Amino acid sequence: MNPVTLKQIAEELNISVATVSKALKDYPDVSKKTKALVKELARTLNYKPNTFAVNLRTRESKTIGLVIPVIVHHFFSNVIKGIVAQAEKKGYLVIILQSNESYELEKKQIDLLLNQRVDGIIISLANGTADFTHLKHVLEMGKPLVMFDKIAKIVPCSKVVIDDRKAAYLATQHLIDTRCTRIAHFRGALLPQNSIDRFLGYKKALLDNGLPYDPSLVYICECDDRSFEEGQENARQLLKDHNDVDGIFINTDLVAIGAMTEFNKQGVNVPEDIAIVGFSNWFMSSVISPTLTTINQPGVQMGKAAFKRLYREIKAIKKNKPIAPKVITLETELIKRESTK
């Protein structure tokens, strides 16, 4: 069965397409009687406006794009959930693409979304992204852009983040407060701002407490799909390199769980021999043994906040109002569990 059009309704009622259109949208200059007739018939015929035509006329698609490094990831799937839920409330649909942590792919995905003429884009950067012209391009096209989690400070768009530096500081301070004196750090990849910030927070906490900063205690993990294994490997290496470490602040829960597994295997007791603080508060962290002390990173909330901000900017642009980029920082908290003393 072919979808009903305004024209069909108009012919049926012997009025014009223009009037039907206006009646359905409750324009004040249509008589109540006509409105009632039109609406009644529209309902019985199950009329649905043709989105393609509406899009073409109104120049908006009521669709936004989302680019994330990986879909199969607890934090990002939580963010997706938040964005999709919030978008739906406002009548927006979400197209999702993943960059696989590749700059090239990220560029391509942005291009696809622009061609699709989405009304706005939300993105968390790939680890490999060091050039931002594709993102500036989005802004030049007059499309709102919101970054979250892995952001680029230099791009003048709104951002939804947590205070990574502060959270890392808190995590490290907690290790110090529980009498750790030789604290290692498993950091994330080199480029992402959040892994830089977490590293800086770790370092500052050490220095503020009069502990020396020792670069040889900092291990890197790419945090790709091998996170767990990276945790194991780093733990193994750490035990070889340093037998005096008594605490580790780890960039991500999954890496931390990998490390704990390795320590278990090698008979190193957590937290007695080595205390561990993770990051993100993945649900498994409260469930493994010992349960993992960690920083809560509110994924769903970040997704919601990112869409809300994007929505404001979409509205603003529609009204030709200028938009001032805003950085929204969500609260995190340290969740103390068994992996620290």
Partner DNA sequence: CTGAAAGCGCTTACAG
**Burial status of residue 12 (CB atoms within 10 A of its CB: 0-12, 13-18, 19 or more):** middle
CA distance 190 to 315: 36
Q: Are 256 and 221 in contact (CB under 8 A)?
A: no
| Residue recorded with tokens 């979304």 | 113
DSSP track, 192-256:
-HHHHHHHHHHHHHHHHTTPPP-GGGEEE---STTHHHHHHHHHHHHHHH-S---EEEES-HHHH
Record the tokens describing residue 310, joined without a space.
Answer: 């994007």
The residue within the footprint of DNA, chosen from 56, 130, 141, 190 (CB under 7 A), is 56
Q: Confirm or reject binding of residue 18 to DNA (CB under 7 A).
A: yes
Half-sphere exposure of residue 173: CA atoms within 13 angstroms, side-chain side: 14
The residue within the footprint of a copy of itself, chosen from 45, 114, 139, 239 (CB under 8 A), is 114
Sign of the dihedral through C-alpha 289, 294, 297, 298: positive
Say which entry of a copy of itself, DNA, none residue 264 contacts (CB below 5 to 8 A, set by partner kind): a copy of itself
The residue within the footprint of DNA, chosen from 57, 72, 115, 244 (CB under 7 A), is 57
The residue within the footprint of DNA, chosen from 11, 40, 53, 207 (CB under 7 A), is 53
Residues 59-98 touching DNA, rule: CB under 7 A, are 59
C-alpha of 146 from chain center: 10
Minimum CB distance to DNA smaller for 54 or for 130: 54
CA distance 33 to 30: 8
The residue within the footprint of a copy of itself, chosen from 5, 8, 21, 77 (CB under 8 A), is 77
CB neighbour burial string for 288-310, b if at least 16 within 10 angstroms, e if fewer: bebebbbbbbbbbbbbbbbbbbb
- Contact range with a copy of itself by CB under 8 A, out of 85-93, 189-197, 202-210, 211-219: 85-93
The residue within the footprint of a copy of itself, chosen from 14, 33, 43, 52 (CB under 8 A), is 52
Q: Confirm or reject binding of residue 31 to DNA (CB under 7 A).
A: yes
The size of the interface with a copy of itself (CB under 8 A), counted in residues, is 48
Record the tokens describing residue 183, joined without a space.
Answer: 């604290």
Alpha-carbon distances of 280 from 30, 39, 133, 153, 297, rounded to whole Å: 55, 50, 30, 21, 5
Q: Confirm or reject binding of residue 21 to DNA (CB under 7 A).
A: yes
Q: How many CB atoms lie within 10 A of CB 11?
A: 13
Q: Are 52 and 5 in contact (CB under 8 A)?
A: no
Minimum CB distance to a copy of itself smaller for 47 or for 219: 47
- Contact range with DNA by CB under 7 A, out of 16-24, 161-169, 221-229, 253-261: 16-24
Minimum CB distance to DNA smaller for 59 or for 315: 59
CA distance 302 to 148: 7
Binding mask 270-309 for a copy of itself (x = CB under 8 A): -------------xx--xxx--------------------
Say which entry of a copy of itself, DNA, none residue 182 contacts (CB below 5 to 8 A, set by partner kind): none
Minimum CB distance to DNA smaller for 21 or for 264: 21
Which residues of this chain interact with DNA, rule CB under 7 A? Answer: 3, 5-7, 14-19, 21-22, 24-25, 29-34, 47, 49-50, 52-54, 56-59
Which residues of this chain interact with a copy of itself, rule CB under 8 A? Answer: 1, 48-53, 55-56, 59, 61, 63, 70-74, 77-78, 80-81, 84-85, 88, 93-98, 112, 114-117, 140-142, 228, 257-258, 261, 264, 283-284, 287-289
